[in-house]
Chain A
Amino acid sequence: MKFDTPAGTNPIDTMKVIGQAVDRVDGKLKTTGQAPYAYEHGEIPGKPAYGYIIGAAIAKGRIAAMNTAEAKRMPGVLAIVSAENAQPLGKGSMNTAKLLGGPVVEHYHQAVAVVVAESFEQARSAANAVRIEYERGAGRFDLVKEKPGAQPLTGNDADTHTGDFAGAFASAPVQVDQTYTTPDQNHAMMEPFATIAWWDADALSVWTSNQMIAWNKRELAATFKLPPEKVHVRSPFIGGGFGGKLFLRADAVMAALGAKACGRPVKIAMPRPLMLNNATHRPATIQRIRLGATRDGKLTAIGHESWSGDLPGGGPESATQQTKLLYAGANRLTALRLAELDLPEANAMRAPGEAPGLMALEIAIDEMAEKLGMDPVKFRVLNDTQVDPEHPERPFSQRNLVRCLEEGADRFGWNRRSAKPAQMREGRWLIGMGVAAAFRNNINMTSAARVRLAGDGVVTVETDMTDIGTGSYTIIAQTAAEMMGLPVEKVRVKLGDSSFPASAGSGGQWGANSATSGVYAACAKLRDMAAQSLGMDPASAEFSDGRVRAGNRSAALAEAAKAGELVAEETMQWGDLGKKFQQSTFGAHFVEVAVDSYTGETRVRRMLAVCAAGRILNPKTARSQVIGAMTMGVGGALMEELAVDKRFGFFVNHDLAGYEVPVHADIPHQDVVFLDEADDKVSPMKAKGVGELGLCGVGAAVANAVYNATGVRVRDYPITLHKYLAKLPAIA
């Protein structure tokens, strides 16, 4: 099925099941410990052995010698695999550094060997006995130092020029010209990278923890030089990913190598202290933003340049993405520059581009509003656009940013905010409010599904879609239920298996809309088959309450499969509506903080997000996506930072004690409002994503609230108290 014209009325519009706050269909499994994650599957051929990965102890250079003699003699050791004795491996197209390093080392904690033993304790202990001598090479670890040599990019990341930015900025009566920085950040998903791998002759099977099953299968095949049909990937439950599990990682490669070497299934969970340097991270940025405006508050010049670094062959953090589309303004410039760094590999983390981009842009907007003496909500409203500002012939498919801002301001009690900072006090606490716009593009991905109708009237959905906590199981069950006129209880959903049709997978907040659209397409086909089987006209058949009705005839849906199971498979493909219309999601974040005037401690007191993201398929799971993202936004604003050792080239705080993320005590009650929308240009589901939108802008809303509370503007994230403590207002 191809979606190339705006959706008309369809069965999803009934919204008997879709749009309802259905409890997660996998909730009872997850809350009772019965949902199996990658490391926990018992369905494997034989007793597993345990693998322990050794990470390089240098950031760049060579392994001069690896002495495994002592380790090999240790109890229980079955195999030690390194580049010295591993089969020659290919490299997947989506990895920058090799997943098995050696003798050349490309980054710190790059996997260089795996020790396989009868038990976890034996493998760990033997791994400690492997002696490696390194020749340390010179590396580049400091973005500030490498910034002058950073290079422009092509394609989607090329510079954009609209009108005459330089002239308009120079002549603008009101200007902001500031530089902001965001640090390296880590996904810190709670489930470590984990895989159980085994071989059956030349076929490889894995239980793994991965967001993108079809990519993972393709990349495993490329790595082990196998035809893709020889690879079976399963990932039914995933303990968080946030972009960190988009790609094939070392756990799967090393488990497969270990399994090959010892002829048994091998299970590996990557030790937490290895994860932060071994795997990918969100790279640091340096962002210069220049805004020019008229005295009455119209933006005339918008310039956003961003620098980031990655290993040679890597990519940039596209932090200027939202700036192309968020506000009106005739003269515009965006530019990305990429420096080569020898730090661990940079790649996507939740809302790549927009998350750090908005952390900077939405402070700059706050600064401009203040210079103009305008309320920051009003200033944003005044500069709204309903068309793509770089290509005004392209309207937005739907854009209710203004409503998000105004409704949010109302609900939040924004009128109680003092425009002048550092005016509101409650005892020792300085109180401030901040706002920021949220913006994230909608992306549609090809997505397929198979649906089965059995003789007992149960519909089973099979697709390789993943549920990384997003609620895919639940919204897919709701979609099939709505399409087939069944209650959710009559739908079974099977996910995360490469033997199922390839779906959109989970990334870029495309999962919900794309994957349910694939299920919609398969169900549309199944409806036709069911109607035909019942001798009814497919075009006029209606499906509800477990029955099919056409004309004056009515039959139980189950009847259609009496003679045998009906199976329909279909793929949702996308036309050019995404080119004709800019498809994006919008929101407004409001935050209230209290800053201790004595100690500088910042506490987030209230948070509200108002989101406009098309139809909300399940307000309960969608709200959870948003509050989770808001929580991550607080982390990014106030605490998250991978500290770079610029001499030796690694992230120093590489565990969950050193890399601080928000805990219960950091997060107040969070309010989320979804505007009642349905976007007929994006899909038959009329839905867009919220999982990344919820993060976009949060950091800046917190930063702006801290400024409003204290009068101290911090432009370098995270806003830790040493950056403002000395500048706090005098105490009484």
Chain B
Amino acid sequence: MAQQPPAMAVTFKVNGKAQALMLDTRTTLLDALRDHIGLMGTKKGCDHGQCGACTVLVNGTRINSCLSLAVMHEGDAVTTIEGLGTPEQLHPMQAAFVKHDGFQCGYCTPGQICSAVAVLEEIRAGIPSHVQGDVGTAPEMSLPEMRERMSGNICRCGAYSNIAEAMAEVAGVRIAETHGAQSDAGAEA
């Protein structure tokens, strides 16, 4: 038998609960959550940072957990979809997704919801984006801003229109009667 691959101890919190793991150093945060801690809510769609299904919050910031090795997270606080709410007590974003049918197969959904929660915070915190007219000013809480910032979360079922409505409701953004007017293209004429 060849020599064992290097393992390392790591401790971090997941949804408020301390986890002490001894891990093969190649283990991603995503696989640590799923295969070692047993929290299967976070999904693996590509394992390459291309789809967003694995989005979790680390110390309040969203990341693709497939692109991050678990051992890099010593002392971090990780929040997964299971930490946001439960079927009995949904997070407002989870409730809005149910109400607006912001999903179909549900596989991208935990990632979408984690991203959506973080995106509203990012806009509130004034973090700039590509669709801002002037990055010197505070970004607007608007659908084009939300759509831009959510674009790393692919939904092949195509629930985008409904996800936008769920997010708008949670953000308290009124959706205009004619949704077309919300489109960014042509608006800056």
Contacts and interface: CB of A to CB of B under 8 A. Distances in A.
A32 B154 CA distance: 18
A539 interface: no
Contact of A470 (B86, B104, B159, B161): B104
A513 to B, nearest CB: 18
Given A656-B51, A668-B183, A28 B98 contact: yes
Contact of A31 (B42, B44, B113, B146): B113
Contacts of A596: 185
A632 interface: yes
Interface string A426-453: 1111010000000000000000000000
Given A33-B81, A628-B157, A74 B2 contact: yes
Interface in A614-666: 620-621, 623-625, 627-632, 655-657, 661-666
A431 B185 CA distance: 10
Interface in B1-52: 1-5, 24, 26-27, 31, 34-35, 38-48, 50-51
Contacts of A624: 101, 104, 157, 159, 162
Main secondary structure of the interface of B (DSSP, over half): loop
A429 B185 CA distance: 8
A665 B147 CA distance: 5
Contact of A239 (B99, B106, B182): B106
A507 to B, nearest CB: 15
Contact of B160 (A42, A189, A594, A631): A631
Interface string B147-189: 1101111111111111111000000000100011011111011
B48 A657 contact: yes
Given A237-B106, A603-B184, A667 B161 contact: yes
Given A32-B81, A75-B1, A606-B180, A668 B50 contact: no
A75 B147 contact: no
B85 interface: yes
Contact of B106 (A26, A42, A620, A667): A26
A240 B157 contact: yes
Question: What's the interface size class on A, roughly?
Answer: 35 or more
B105 interface: yes
B2 A75 contact: yes
A33 B40 contact: yes
Nearest to A191: B107
Contact of B189 (A29, A426, A632): A426
Interface in A112-156: 119-122, 125
A403 interface: no
A669 B164 contact: yes
A628 B163 CA distance: 12
A661 B156 contact: yes
A620 B113 CA distance: 20
Contacts of B160: 627, 631, 662-664, 666-667
A705 to B, nearest CB: 12
Contacts of B105: 189-191, 237-241, 468-469
B99 A605 contact: no
B26 to A, nearest CB: 4
A99 B189 CA distance: 55
Interface centre among B35, B143, B158, B189 (most CB of A within 10 A): B158
A656 B154 contact: yes
Contacts of B146: 664
B185 A655 contact: no
B46 A272 contact: yes
A629 to B, nearest CB: 7
Contacts of A189: 105, 107, 156
A665 B144 CA distance: 7
Nearest to A629: B158
B122 interface: no
A44 B189 CA distance: 60
B57 interface: no
B5 A121 contact: yes
A35 interface: yes
Interface of A: 23-24, 26-37, 39-40, 42, 73-75, 119-122, 125, 187-192, 237-242, 269, 271-273, 426-429, 431, 468-471, 592, 594, 596, 603, 605-606, 620-621, 623-625, 627-632, 655-657, 661-671
Interface of B: 1-5, 24, 26-27, 31, 34-35, 38-48, 50-51, 53, 80-82, 84-87, 90, 94-95, 97-99, 101, 103-110, 113, 131, 143-144, 146-148, 150-165, 175, 179-180, 182-186, 188-189
Closest 6 CB pairs of A and B: A33-B41, A239-B107, A631-B158, A427-B189, A669-B179, A469-B105
18 contacts: A23-B101, A27-B101, A31-B110, A33-B110, A34-B41, A37-B43, A75-B2, A189-B107, A237-B106, A271-B47, A426-B186, A603-B184, A656-B48, A662-B158, A663-B154, A664-B163, A664-B164, A667-B160
